[in-house]
Amino acid sequence: MRDDAFRAYFERHHDSLSRLAYLMTGESAVADDLAADALTEVWRHWDRVNAADDPAAYGHGIVMNLARNWVRRRSRERMLSFGPLRRDRDADVPAVLDVRGALKRLPHRRRACVVLRYAFDLPEREVAEILGISVGAVKSATSRGARQLAGLLGDHVGMDGWEAAR
């Protein structure tokens, strides 16, 4: 019974978890790994996940935590290995940025809120639950993130560009 329930969860949510991980990291191979790691955690805590009000949100929360840790780890690695060689990133920014490239430039919480609200069409309350923050913090981060994203994209791509980023 447990195996069947988890298999159904896996089949229903694997693509969504992988897509979320991709939008948060911008790396397909990493996204697949993070989705697999998240599903492993879901399996390990299946009783808790299955008892949750929204089991899908539980999985999304795990992906968000794994993605945040991956981004932090990667940032630390870059700083350690390229610190003295880094140059100002804004000096060579191309005039046209795609949605994925612009998303990478948003701070993690803003990126998470924008991705969950616009790419996944989740209500603010569910985003707050996934991220473990208040609805007001979601509203603020989403608003600031969308504004920052629009500034990065300029007139070239609007929020309609989500289809290309998905």
The count of domains in the chain is: 2
Q: Report the alpha-carbon distance of residue 107 to residue 144 in Å, rounded.
A: 10
Tokens of 26: 């911008």
CATH code (residue 158) = 1.10.10.10
C-beta separation of 150 from 158 below 8 A = yes
Please report, rounded to a whole number, the percentage of residues in the chain having pLDDT higher than 90: 54
Residues 91 and 164 in one domain: yes
Residues 108 and 62 in one domain: no
pLDDT score of 93? 36
Question: Which residue is it, tokens 């473990």?
Answer: 132
Residue 72 has pLDDT above 60, yes or no: yes
| H-assigned helices in 26-161 | 28-44, 46-51, 55-82, 99-105, 108-114, 124-131, 135-153
Average pLDDT of the chain is: 81
Residue range 80-136, pLDDT digits in tens:
443 333 344 443 334 334 677 888 889 999 999 998 998 888 899 999 998 999 999
Residues 1 and 53 in one domain: yes
String of b and e for 7-31 (b: at least 16 CB within 10 Å)?
A: eebeeebbeebbbbbbbbbbeeebb
Q: Which positions ≥6 away from 20 have C-beta within 8 Å?
A: 60, 63, 64, 67, 115, 116, 119, 120
Give the global pTM: 0.60
Residue range 31-64, pLDDT digits in tens:
999 999 999 999 999 999 999 999 999 999 999 9
More confident residue, 134 or 158: 134
Averaging pLDDT over each range in 65-69, 139-143, 147-151, 155-159, which range is the top one? 139-143
Domain that holds residue 132: 87-166
> What torsion do the CA atoms of 10, 12, 13, 19 make, to the nearest 10 degrees?
120
Q: Which positions ≥6 away from 122 have C-beta within 8 Å?
A: 116, 130
Residues 63 and 99 in one domain: no
Tokens of 164: 């290309």
